[in-house]
Structure 1
Amino acid sequence: MSLLRAKIQDVFNEPACEKNRGKDAKARKEGCSKPLTPGAAAGGCAFDGAKIVLQPITDVAHLIHAPLACEGNSWDNRGAASSGPTLWRTSFTTDLTELDVVMGQGERKLFKAIREIKEAYGPPAIFVYPTCVTALIGDDIEAVCKRAAEKFGLPVVPVNAPGFVGSKNLGNKLAGEALLEHVIGTVEPDDAGPYDINILGEFNLSGEFWLVKPLLDRLGIRVRACIPGDARYFDIACAHRARAAMMVCSTALINLARKMEQRWDIPFFEGSFYGITDTSEALRQISQLLVKKGADPEILGRTEALIAEEEAIAWKKLAAYRPRLEGKRVLLNTGGVKSWSVVHALMEIGIEIVGTSVKKSTVEDKERIKQILKDDNHIFEQMAARELYAMLSECKADIMLSGGRTQFIALKAKTPWLDINQERQHPYAGYDGMVELVRQIDLAIHNPIWRQVREPAPWDCQPAVREELPSTKSETATLHVVQEFAGTTADDFGE
């Protein structure tokens, strides 16, 4: 636990974090997140954050050393996609019971589970995650993993991020520390070249990185490792031989990017593949970093030619949507890199941003938003559900883009909603992804169902009641007939 405590303090003292640099020494040691109470719901714990970062490594076996519920609650919580191996989709857990805890059988059961996975699946590596229970009872995960690696001849990586140590974001960074300590730099590639790059903090949600990789392939740029989206263990182990890196989500893996630059002289920048302008700028910066590291300067010209070609195609496709969406108002309730990159992307086609959240956004993210919107009134740290509902029900926005947890607020307010977070079904990165995002917004806003659900319910519409007497001849004649036969019976008519 003392080693884990030292790692946490190191993460809290991250010098590459602009917000952290502005604190005094005492405030820096307290970290960026409030400590969690074991067993309390806090929107994701450190274990959950570590699992999010590492599980998209698709050919690795991910073993949870904990009671069954820890794995059951954390499995498959991201829409990451794989182009090959499916082992990461298999759930492995030691399934500790109360008897195992009382009798001290945890370490033995973990070693046995590692052996069974190795024999049954033969993965290139096994990642082992302790949780609150196994960390509190003192199971020595590092010792078991080290012994298993020697015995079975494959890397067994301890990921020390039990849930009670902090938030999901802290778990992201502890996962990066595990890669630095046990994986990156352990294999020397025989094909390193001047156009190799790393992409950090890209999760390949709904396969969206596959919309960007062909652009890099056309420029002759090889992605040595995409961490973690659609990654392979061998690629990450060789990631230290890349020439440059792009950081997509700095809140998750800024420590990994900074330490790789420090250890292996891999310069990095923070960019985004959301939106036409940001995608083009990201390609430019990648090429410029490679040239600074020794690549042929001719790549700069080829990059500009590719950008001009792809932008022309994308803008031509978007022209059909501009008349239908220009002036539409969007409320963006997300965070991180999407808090500014998606804002910029939507404003490019004339959509108005009435608000964007900056939860989980860095200081740099917030500064970018201010430069884009030029108005602090549209920026909010966190909006309560009641306030979101009031804003939508008063028709201050035509659509809300957010994650799944707030979709029912929009639906209750009878407002179109589109998933922009990890559960989404459509890729939105790159030039083609921007076109797809605009197409989905257009489909959501102009879906005829919204006009129907906003109409008053039938039981709320009372029909008008006529109180005047009949006035037409037919109605008068009918009235006389009724009066004439009033009081008669069937016997009066005979057979």
Structure 2
Amino acid sequence: MSSLRAKIQDVFNEPACEQNRGKDAKARKKGCSKPLTPGAAAGGCAFDGAKIVLQPITDVAHLIHAPLACEGNSWDNRGAASSGPTLWRTSFTTDLTELDVVMGQGERKLFKGIREIKEAYGPPAIFVYPTCVTALIGDDIEAVCKRAAEKFGLPVVPVDAPGFVGSKNLGNKLAGEALLDHVIGTAEPDDAGPYDINILGEFNLSGEFWLVKPLLDRLGIRVRACIPGDARYFDIACAHRARAAMMVCSTALINLARKMEQRWDIPFFEGSFYGITDTSEALRQISQLLVKKGADPEILGRTEALIAEEEAIAWKKLAAYRPRLEGKRVLLNTGGVKSWSVVHALMEIGIEIVGTSVKKSTVEDKERIKQILKDDNHMFEQMAPRELYAMLSEHKADIMLSGGRTQFIALKAKTPWLDINQERQHPYAGYDGMVQLVLQIDLAIHNPIWRQVREPAPWDCQPAVREELPSTKSETATLHAVQEFAGMTTDDFGEC
């Protein structure tokens, strides 16, 4: 536990985090998360955050040393996609029981689980995750992993991020520490070159990185390691031989980027592949960093030629949507890098941003939003569901872009909604991704279902009464009874 405390304190003191540098020593010790209210949903624990970062490493077996409930459903974790191995989608757990805890069988059961995975699947590595229970009872995960690695001849990586130590974001960073301590730098590639880069904090949600990689391939730039999206263990082990890096989500892995620059002299920048302008700027910065590290300057010219070609194609495709979407109002209820990158992307085609959440956004993210929107009146840290509903029901936005948690607020307000978070079904990165995003917004806003659901319900519209009145007393009595039950008179009947 002493080593875990040291790691947590190191993460809390992250010098590359602007928000952290602005705190005094007392505030820094509290970390990045607000205190949690007992009994309230915390939005993910440190274990959840660590597994989110590492599970998209597709050829690795991920073993959860915990009671069964800690594993949950790992299939299609965050919508990340793989171009090959599917082992990462299989749930492995030691399924610790009360008897195992009482009898002190946790470490023995973990070692047995590692052996079974090795024999049945033969993965290049096994990642082991302790959770609250196994951390509290004192199972020595690192010792077991070290012994298993020696016995079975493969890397067994302890990911020391039990849930009780903090938030999901802290778990993201502890996962980065595990890669630094046990994976990166443990293998040497035989094909290192001057155009090798790392992409950090890219999860390949819905396979969207596959829309960007062909652009890099055309420039002769090789992605040595994409961490973690569609990654392979060996690629990450060789990531220290890259010449430059791009940070996509700094709130998750800024510590990994800074320490790789510190240890292996790999410069990095933070960029985005969302939107035409930001994609072009990211390609330029990658090329410029490579030239600074010794690559041939001719790549700068090739980059500009590629950008000009791709932008022309993308703008031509987007021209068809501008008349239909220009002036439409969007409420963006997300956070992190999407709080500014998607804002910029949408404004490029004339869409108005009526509000954007800055939850989980860094100081740099917020500054970018201010520069894009020219003020901070449209930024909100967190909006209560009641406020979101009021804003949408009053038609202050034509569509809401958010995650699945708030979709029902939009649906209740009879407002179009589009998933922009990790559960999304469409890739939105790169030039083609921007066209796809605009297409989906157009389809959502102009879907005829919204006109239909906003019309009065059939039971609020009574049909006109026929001129012929009932001929019998029983029919007349029945009609009067129905009218009385509904609180209406004959004059109330008619068209809606």
Band the TM-score falls in, shorter-chain normalisation: over 0.9
Kindly state the Cα deviation for residue 23 of structure 1 after the two structures are TM-superposed.
1.4
Cα distance per residue 1:122-168 (max 9 Å; x no partner): 00000000011111111100000000000000000000001111000
- CA-CA distance at 1:22 after TM superposition: 1.1
Given that residues 35 and 167 in structure 1 are in contact (C-alpha distance below 8 angstroms), is that contact kept between their aligned partners in structure 2? no
Runs of 4 or more off by more than 6 Å in structure 1?
Answer: 466-495
Give the alignment's TM-score, normalised by structure 2: 0.93
The 1:15/1:474 distance shift into structure 2, 3 A limit, reads: closer
The whole-number CA distance in structure 2 between the counterparts of 1:235 and 1:437 is 31
Distance in 1 (CA, whole Å) between partners of 2:115 and 2:42 is 34
Distance 1:14 1:482, change over 3 A: closer
Provide the identity percentage.
Answer: 97
Q: CA offset at residue 26 of structure 1?
A: 2.1
Distance 1:254 1:492 in 2: 66
Q: Provide closer, same or farther for how the CA distance between residues 309 and 2 of structure 1 changes in structure 2, counting only shifts above 3 A.
A: same
Instruction: Report deviation, 1:252.
Output: 0.1
CA distance in 2, matches of 1:22, 1:451: 49
> Any idea what SS the aligned residue of 1:425 has?
coil
- Alpha-carbon distance, 1:247 to partner: 0.1
Q: Deviations over 1:391-431 (max 9, x none)?
A: 00000000000000000000000000000000000000000
What is the alpha-carbon root mean square deviation over aligned residues?
6.7
SS in 2 for 1:355: strand
Q: Does the 8 A contact of 1:35 with 1:165 survive in 2?
A: no
Change (3 A) 1:473 1:198: closer
How far is the alpha carbon of 1:41 from its aligned partner? 2.8
CA distance 1:399–1:285, change in 2 (3 Å): same
For the 8 Å contact 1:35–1:166, the answer to whether it is kept is no
Q: Cα–Cα, structure 1 residues 71 and 484, in superposed 2: closer, same or farther, change >3 Å?
A: closer
> Residues 74 and 89 of structure 2 are in contact (CA less than 8 Å); yes or no, is this contact kept in structure 1?
no
Shift in Å at residue 477 of structure 1? 25
Evaluate the alpha carbon distance shift between residue 323 and residue 92 of structure 1 in structure 2; reply closer, same or farther with a 3 A threshold.
same
Counterpart residue number, 2:458: 458
Deviations 1:217-273 (A, max 9, x none): 000000000000000000000000000000000000000000000000000000000
Does the CA-based 8 Å contact 1:314-1:431 persist in structure 2? yes
Report the CA distance shift for 1:242/1:483 in structure 2 as closer, same or farther (over 3 A): closer
Give the 3 Å change call, closer, same or farther, for CA 177–494 of structure 1 in structure 2: closer
2-side partners of 1:304 and 1:493: how far apart?
Answer: 69
In the superposition, relative to structure 1, how do residues 458 and 4 fare at CA in structure 2: closer, same or farther (>3 Å)? same
Structure 1 distance, partners of 2:389, 2:287, is 45
**How has the CA–CA distance of structure 1 residues 38 and 241 changed in structure 2, closer, same or farther, with 3 Å as cutoff?**
farther
The equivalent residue for 2:182 is: 182
- Equivalence map 1:101-180=2 (5 Å): 101-180=101-180
Give the C-alpha shift of residue 44 in structure 1.
Answer: 0.4
Structure 1, 26-35 or 204-213: larger mean CA deviation:
26-35
Task: Tell me, in whole angstroms, the C-alpha distance in 1 between the residues paired with 2:17 and 2:174.
Answer: 15
Structure 1 pair 475–250 and aligned structure 2 pair: CA distance change class (3 A):
closer
Q: Deviations over 1:159-213 (max 9, x none)?
A: 0001111000000000000000000000011111000000000000000000000
User: Are residues 490 and 469 of structure 1, via their aligned partners in 2, closer, same or farther at CA, if it must alter by over 3 Å?
Assistant: closer
CA distance in 2, matches of 1:238, 1:291: 21
Partner deviation per Cα, 1:22-79 (whole Å, 9 max, x = no partner):
1122222221113557876301000000000000000000000001111115554310
Give distance in 2, aligned partners of 1:48 and 1:492.
58
Deviation at 1:377, TM superposition (A): 1.3
Q: Aligned partners of 1:274 and 1:97: how far apart in 2?
A: 45
Shift of residue 468, structure 1, vs aligned partner:
12
Q: Deviations over 1:80-102 (max 9, x none)?
A: 00000010011100001111111
Choose 18-27 or 431-440, whichever is displaced more. 18-27
Q: Distance in 2 between matches of 1:141 and 1:215?
A: 42
SS in 2 for 1:38: coil
Which residue does 2:316 correspond to in 1?
316
- Residue deviations 1:310-336 (CA, integer Å, cap 9, x gap): 000000000000000000000000000
8 Å CA contact 1:37, 1:164 repeated in 2: no
Give the secondary structure class of the aligned counterpart of 1:266.
coil
Displacement after TM superposition at 1:463 (Å): 4.0
* Separation in 1, partners of 2:114, 2:132: 20
1:47 touches 1:171 (CA, 8 Å); kept in 2?
yes
Aligned residue for 2:79, secondary structure, equals coil
Q: 2:116, 2:466 → 1: CA distance?
A: 82
- Whole-angstrom CA distance in 1 between matches of 2:412 and 2:488: 58
Determine helix, strand or coil for the equivalent of 1:484.
helix
Structure 2 CA distance for aligned equivalents of residues 75 and 50 of structure 1: 16
SS in 2 for 1:63: strand
Residues in 1 aligned to 2:417 and 2:359: alpha-carbon distance in whole angstroms = 19
**Structure 1 stretch displaced more, 480-489 or 171-180:** 480-489
Q: In the aligned structure 2, how far is the partner of 1:337 from the partner of 1:363?
A: 11
Change in CA separation of 1:493 and 1:200 when aligned onto 2, cut-off 3 Å: closer
Q: 1:148 to 1:327 in 2, by over 3 A?
A: same
Deviation string for 1:341-396 (max 9, x for gaps)? 00000000000000000000000000000000012111000000000000000000
**Deviation (angstroms), 1:473:** 25
Q: Which residue of 2 aligns with 1:374?
A: 374
Q: Secondary structure at the match of 1:257?
A: helix
Distance (Å, rounded) in 2 between the aligned partners of 1:246 and 1:494: 65
Asked if 1 retains the 8 angstrom alpha-carbon contact of 2:329 and 2:354, the reply is yes
2:56–2:80 Cα contact (<8 Å) kept = yes
Corresponding residue of 1:486? 486
Quote how far apart the aligned CAs of 1:489 are.
33
Could you say if the C-alpha distance between residues 151 and 349 of structure 1 is closer, same or farther in structure 2, counting changes exceeding 3 Å? same
User: Rg larger in 1 or in 2?
Assistant: 1
CA shift, 1:13, in A, is 0.2
Distance in 2 (alpha carbons) for counterparts of 1:54 and 1:200:
12
Measured after TM superposition, the shift of residue 474 of structure 1 is 25
Question: Matched residues in 1 for 2:387 and 2:214: separation?
Answer: 42
Question: Compared with structure 1, are the counterparts of its residues 463 and 143 closer, same or farther at alpha carbon in structure 2 (3 Å cutoff)?
Answer: same
Shift of 1:2: 1.1
Q: Structure 1 stretch 44-53 or stretch 468-477: which is displaced more?
A: 468-477
Structure 2 alignment gaps of length 5 or more? none
C-alpha distance in 2, partners of 1:405/1:486? Answer: 38
Cα separation, 2, equivalents of 1:138 and 1:490: 77
Comparing 247-256 and 26-35, the one that deviates more: 26-35
Q: Are 2:56 and 2:230, in contact at CA under 8 Å, matched by a contact in 1?
A: yes
Q: Helix, strand or coil: the match of 2:78?
A: coil
1:465–1:348 Cα change, 3 Å: same
- Once residues 462 and 477 of structure 2 are traced to their aligned partners in structure 1, the CA distance between those partners, rounded to angstroms, is 30
Distance 2:480 2:296 in 1: 104
Asked if the contact 1:66–1:96 (Cα under 8 Å) also holds between the matched residues in 2, the reply is yes
Maintained 8 Å contact 2:75/2:90: no
